[in-house]
Chains A and B, each alone.
Chain A
């Protein structure tokens, strides 16, 4: 015989102002199986919790219904209370009177009646609850960091410095990411490479970090604490254990006209190359798509002949390694829209309209112009330069509704760098709003305007076209009643929208994590869980979640690293046992469930006869992987799958309880 206790919470005014909580408690007393019921102002407060504990002991309750806020908010609180009073925590349930009733209805008698009905449903459910026990799983204390930009570097170093092993995978031949391409960084104007390269070297030398460059994640299986990652090591065609990085091969390579990714296409590189002089590792790889040896069946091979250490190995093949990791941090960064995205700005046909990243390379001392601002078309120093912010961003018609967040700041920096390098030049910035939220950011932008006399014009540029060798930039000054502004520019820099990496969708599918409509990886909660994904054990850091600047990326990276360290501080993980299980006797082995399970938690189990012969195959759920989403339950044709804590019986009882003598009153 069930002895259920009902505890109705006022949640201050939240529930109490709309629902007559005392009346609900009074009605609940008459529900079959209810042994005790009471209302209280704040059930989650200390006296409220004591009230529940004492009632459980005094009335010898076999189940508890707390009618209060959302279980998302306080279910763990009240389950803990139940456990402290000696009741199995999974015999405690919550009726959501706040979000499902008081917040969405006016104060009325029927609101109170609805609250009572919600309590009745949960009472019927709790009667069928069974004690459950948490699942324990071991933890592999190695982290996998995917992406070697500044976010990945920070994450890897933080985890490694807390004493855990880290495996870093970087798809390009060197770590460093976009930050290594930047000239100087806002708001301090310190050189990007100077602050980054020591960290890159630290990653390469750290005893706890294993670095795989020119490698990609092939697949990821398993679950939190127990992932199995397969990593594809792309053939470098150079034996890095022998190579001494002398650079002879790159100097002699006959193929020299390949657009240089590191210089954002403004320079060229050979087919055997190190992306930039400070690269880590500072050893070359062969770009097989462009190498004559690979394209023309063994012709050329010049690098092999001249290599003093005989490190060139054309026969290398892609290698696959499998590693066990306990947590994964995704730090794959972002990309930007190219100039060809803008029909109104010439579809990319004007050479002197460049992206912000290209300007970074022009302004960088290690760039193609050695830091001199020279325009790509004829190498002349532009005397009149225009910067355009919100190029693609905040433009729903182009499919990018969001603000890319970093452009306002880097364009102010660009204009400033330009004025510092070309004193007589004129710099203009077209903007819609100046978004300079951040420590000393506003001051930085004001400095550009007030001290460096950058001409800021509020308005979006409608069109750019070429006339007599000048780029005519047409816009209006919306602060001057739309006074037309036409600038004859020598060069235009577009602060193009930051977008998700093109590979982000396929990576998300490999990792089984979700992504938003713009293909940025989705965090578990926008405010309270910003570094975790919805898949336990996989964290995010940096611009793969959303465009962000270096300080934000680094903070998030350290946040992700501390999440990983917290995970690794335990030897065993406990998980909620609210997962699916299969009734082997009725399972027909259709494996529809296996095809829909988003967590790949369903395996095949062979049922064998005494002589060892297989009688049939049934589904089996891996308790480590199952998240209890219930998709398989809904699909199972023989009703052989059920979920602990949310069984068919329980849900049925909840629904049926609504058909009572009072339900006629509503009709």
Chain B
């Protein structure tokens, strides 16, 4: 019997939320560990990918909280090595993506992940204003958010000389349309809260 997906059960556990929002079934995982064995970032993660799935399977609130507070979900590169090898075809990157937004929603972002979050924010804000990637804008935004002012500055002159960093933002046509997309997403997120 499938547990009814009503508001009550949704509040209860992450497993069913993931099922509803991403279509991914955590229960498919049978803990073979192939995802973790192939994960290039596993050594850096505080919870290995297969353990993360097992924790979600149990529906134990303490463990779900640990998952949302883990560094794992932020370190995941979405390289999809795990997904392409998973015998049960569990889309772990998709689940990781979901967990990242859930973690932000619940203000449970891992402290070590603040730089990563800053990078994501900078990236998106340049895309929003420029319409595509603008390196200098991205770097400036990242440094302003993290105060890592001197990080990697020594490579800047060479990159500038070789034309890898464009001073002028590569603006696209109809940038307002891009901004509209961002606004629309924000609107949807507000509604969900």
Contacts and interface: CB of A to CB of B under 8 A. Distances in A.
Interface of A: 419-420, 423, 446, 449-453, 455, 458, 477, 479-481, 483
Given A423-B1, A458-B31, 15 more contacts: A449-B30, A450-B27, A450-B28, A451-B1, A452-B1, A453-B1, A453-B2, A453-B3, A453-B27, A479-B51, A479-B54, A480-B58, A480-B63, A481-B51, A483-B63
Interface residues of B, number: 14
Contacts of A452: 1
Nearest to A442: B30
Contacts of A446: 30
Contacts of A423: 1
**Interface of A, helix, strand, loop or mixed by DSSP:** mixed
Interface string B46-81: 000001001100101001000000000000000000
Interface in B1-31: 1-3, 25, 27-28, 30-31
A477 B1 contact: no
Nearest to B4: A423
B173 to A, nearest CB: 49
B169 to A, nearest CB: 49
Most A CB atoms within 10 A — which of B55, B58, B63?
A: B58
Nearest to A419: B1
A455 B60 CA distance: 12
A456 to B, nearest CB: 9
11 contacts: A419-B1, A420-B1, A450-B25, A451-B1, A458-B31, A477-B58, A479-B31, A479-B51, A479-B54, A480-B54, A480-B63
Contacts of B28: 450
Most A CB atoms within 10 A — which of B3, B25, B27, B51?
A: B27
B129 to A, nearest CB: 45
Nearest to A480: B54
A423 B2 CA distance: 9
A483 B55 CA distance: 10
Contacts of B60: 483
Contact of A449 (B1, B27, B54): B27
A446 B32 CA distance: 14
B11 to A, nearest CB: 17
Contacts of A455: 58
B55 A480 contact: yes
A379 to B, nearest CB: 23
A480 B51 contact: yes
Contacts of B63: 480, 483
B54 A451 contact: no
A65 B191 CA distance: 93
Contacts of A477: 54, 58
B87 to A, nearest CB: 12
Contacts of B55: 480
